[in-house]
Amino acid sequence: MDRLTEMEAFANVVDQGGFTDAAKKMGISKSAVSKHVSSLEARLGARLLNRTTRRVSPTEIGLAYYDRARRVLNDAGEADALVTSMQSAPSGLLRISVATDFGVNHLSPVLSDFLRDFPDITVNMVLNNRYVELISEGFDMALRIGELEDSSLRARKLTETTKRMIASPAYLEKFGRPQKIDDLNMHKLLHYSNQSSGSMWKITAPSGEKRQVRTSGWLSVNDGQSLLNAAISGLGIAYLPSYLYSDAMAEGLVEDVMPSLPMETQGIYAVYPPGRFTQPKVRAFIDFLANAFADKDGITW
């Protein structure tokens, strides 16, 4: 028998809680579903389902197999949908979630080119500084920066950014430049309140040792651009990605506070729910962004 059909029959029995409803969903007879599942169990040499007169439930082995089987079936469905979608022109409403500072500084400036290239797509870009649940909140995709959380979402890396501690020349002249990581405890540190690490900066020492520095106090803001402005104004030291401070550093408004430290590299990703990449509008936008940010080296923006 066809392996994919066996797998689909088993997954539908688990999803529907029985053979009768699984048969209705697949449009085949109950006996055919049972035959597919029995063939699968025989081929694997393992019992995947507990069968009683009242209900059907997966065994421990069956549950482990189901998780993998469902992924395979989803991928197969996406592959079929991809072929179909590639023959369709991108169109419709595209809802995007992106951090405010990145959206304002780097996404908004390139949107006009995208909309000119794809006039049948309408973009709804939502700027915020919180973690958005894409599926439940109705987003097609998001741009996320840094380490990604484990989830069912798919991701494509677009480019990189690097994080550095920066401060204005006036601040460093007044308070001095920290020579080692522990010296930061004596400085005015500007805290990004939405970061996943809480009130801690995660810094790598020249030796490669991972260190943490507490930043609470003095000034706490939930927006990166505002922290950059505070650093330029001489209010303290900020720990920011290069896509924010690159221009200010080139103009001499801020300096690298501790250039001897290794640069912390972060990926910038397009993140989307399974199946969304097969939609022409999503695929078109992700491909566009990959090309738009292709010249970014992580340091210069």
pLDDT digits (tens, 9 = 90+) for 220-272: 888 899 999 999 999 999 999 999 999 999 999 999 999 999 988 999 999 99
For residue 216, what pLDDT is reported?
67
Note if the pTM is more than 0.75: no
Above 90 in pLDDT, residue 198? no
Above 90 in pLDDT, residue 200? no
Angle formed at CA 12 by CA 6 and CA 15, multiple of 5 degrees: 145
Mean pLDDT, residues 9-16 taken together: 93
Q: Return mean pLDDT, the chain.
A: 90
Angle formed at CA 110 by CA 105 and CA 112, multiple of 5 degrees: 125
Residue type (1 letter), 226: S
Q: Would you say how long the chain is, in residues? A: 301
For residue 14, what pLDDT is reported?
94
For residue 203, what pLDDT is reported?
92
Q: What percent of the chain is predicted at pLDDT more than 70? A: 95
Residue-wise pLDDT for 14-30, tens only, equals 999 999 999 999 999 99
Asked whether the beta carbons of 285 and 141 are under 8 A apart, the reply is: yes
Task: Burial-class residue 182 by CB neighbours within 10 Å (0-12, 13-18, 19+).
Answer: exposed
Give residue 75's pLDDT band: very low, low, confident or very high (50, 70, 90): confident
H or E element, residue 51: strand 49-51
Residue-wise pLDDT for 83-142, tens only, equals 766 667 888 999 999 999 999 999 999 999 999 999 999 999 999 888 888 988 989 999
3-state secondary structure of 222: coil
Above 90 in pLDDT, residue 47? yes
Neighbouring residues of 259: CB distance < 8 A, sequence distance ≥ 6: none
For residue 195, what pLDDT is reported?
62
Query: What number of other Cβ atoms are within 10 A of residue 283's Cβ?
Result: 18
Give residue 1's pLDDT band: very low, low, confident or very high (50, 70, 90): low
Asked whether the beta carbons of 175 and 188 are under 8 A apart, the reply is: yes
How far apart are alpha carbons 115 and 111 in whole angstroms?
Answer: 6
Structure-token match 């601040």, residue found: 171
Q: Which two tokens stand for residue 213?
A: 């520095």
Domains 3-85 and 161-265 share a fold: no
Q: Which fold has domain 3-85?
A: Arc Repressor Mutant, subunit A (1.10.10)
Residue type (1 letter), 261: L
3-state secondary structure of 279: coil
For residue 2, what pLDDT is reported?
85
Check: CATH 3.40.50.620 for 161-265?
no
How far apart are alpha carbons 83 and 207 in whole angstroms?
Answer: 50
For residue 218, what pLDDT is reported?
78
Q: What CATH number does domain 92-157+270-292 carry, 1.20.58.1910, 3.40.190.10, 3.40.630.30, 3.40.50.1220?
A: 3.40.190.10
Query: What number of other Cβ atoms are within 10 A of residue 55's Cβ?
Result: 9
Q: Where are the domains of the chain?
A: 3-85, 92-157+270-292, 161-265
Angle formed at CA 237 by CA 174 and CA 181, multiple of 5 degrees: 95
Characterise 244 by phi-psi region: left (phi > 0), alpha (psi -120 to 50), beta (else): alpha
Give residue 148's pLDDT band: very low, low, confident or very high (50, 70, 90): confident
For residue 199, what pLDDT is reported?
76
H or E element, residue 167: strand 154-167
Alpha helices by DSSP H, listed for 153-214, are 169-175
Structure-token match 């930043």, residue found: 215
For residue 10, what pLDDT is reported?
95
Above 70 in pLDDT, residue 196? no
DSSP characters over 109-158: HHHHHHHHH-TTEEEEEEE-SS---TTTTT-SEEEEESSPPPSS-EEEEE
Relative orientation angle of helices 3-16 and 19-26, to the nearest 10 degrees:
120
Asked whether the beta carbons of 41 and 32 are under 8 A apart, the reply is: no
